[in-house]
Amino acid sequence: MNALPKVMAPVLTPFLEDLSPDFDLFVGFCRWLESQGAGLAVFGTNSEANSLTVEERLELLSHAIEGGIDPSRLVPGTGACAIGDAVRLTRAAVQAKCAGVLMLPPFYYKQVSEDGLFGSFAEVIERVGEQGLQILLYHIPQVSGVAISPGLIERLRKRYPRIVVGMKDSSGDMNYTKAAILRFPGFKVYAGSDALLLGTLRLGGVGCISATANVNPAAIVKLREDWQKDDAERRQEAMARLRKIFEGLPMISALKAAVAHHGKCARFAQVRPPLMKLNEAQAGELTARLAQEGFAMPGLEAELAPA
């Protein structure tokens, strides 16, 4: 059983101009994130994972591991609408010795019952049938439309105490975060935003899996390590200020634009529909505001350069 990384980036997925995954750039970017101390939650919301086919995700995972990424730092997103897809993705992650998986509930049908969601997770776990599996449940109701309720967590923990080990709470609702931490001792709760990292740690949470860990990983990792030191508040405020710059724009496109600019790799800005690249005005504003903050991504350019 691997220890799960405490700070993870939902790794951006680079595309070629024809919209196919850019495997080389993906591995280079993973390598940079790893070098900054971040764990790799590949195939999360910010990875445009739900715009990828199952086959594309399996191929990206293979490339990362063949490219030398340490599987114990990988926590792929493997939730899907269809049980068969979630099983395939989850099994591949376990077989590749990933630290764990981040699992969305099936997200097409809305207002489904707790019994139905329990049945869905249980079916995936039973079919994968691997004792080494560690699942973080993925609570992001504002996007998935399907919440992970405390009652569901309780039932899954009771039935699969060693498998359902934690949750990413992307609701932004600290009351929910707090309730989950207090009610389920030992349950590993991750903030869905680095702006809530310090607050989540103070409540007894574990860390964060945050969009902006794609661009600001070292600072987030550092706060996770030093959160009990005197300057933690100041560090948290600086992180939140940086994050606000991205939140004012379409988040995924803005993160990709920042990587493209600071990695001197224009094609990294490509997104898949239904997302759209930043327009010129947005990209210009982003670059200017980041410059004001003295923002940098040291070492990135070298990792994104052609071999």
Binding site for a second copy (CB under 8 A): 19, 45, 50-56, 81-85, 105-110, 112-113, 115-117, 119-120, 122-123, 142-146, 272-276
C-beta of 165: minimal distance to a second copy in Å?
A: 21
Residue with tokens 């010795």: 97
Q: Please, what is the angle between helix 150-159 and helix 174-183, to 10°?
A: 30
Q: How far apart are CA 298 and CA 32, in angstroms?
A: 9
C-beta of 218: minimal distance to a second copy in Å?
A: 28
Q: How far apart are CA 172 and CA 98, in angstroms?
A: 27
C-beta of 115: minimal distance to a second copy in Å?
A: 5
Distances (CA, A) of 134 to 7, 100, 111, 301: 16, 5, 27, 34
C-beta of 141: minimal distance to a second copy in Å?
A: 11
Number of CB atoms found within 10 A of residue 54's CB: 16
Residue 121 or 190: the one with the smaller Cβ distance to a second copy is 121
Residue with tokens 């995924």: 252
C-beta of 131: minimal distance to a second copy in Å?
A: 22
C-beta of 234: minimal distance to a second copy in Å?
A: 33
In eight-state DSSP terms, residue 168 is E
In eight-state DSSP terms, residue 188 is E
Residue 81 or 218: the one with the smaller Cβ distance to a second copy is 81
Residue 20 or 62: the one with the smaller Cβ distance to a second copy is 20
Q: How far apart are CA 255 and CA 237, in angstroms?
A: 19
Q: How far apart are CA 197 and CA 119, in angstroms?
A: 32
Residue 158 or 230: the one with the smaller Cβ distance to a second copy is 158
Residue 115 or 301: the one with the smaller Cβ distance to a second copy is 115
Residue 42 or 69: the one with the smaller Cβ distance to a second copy is 42
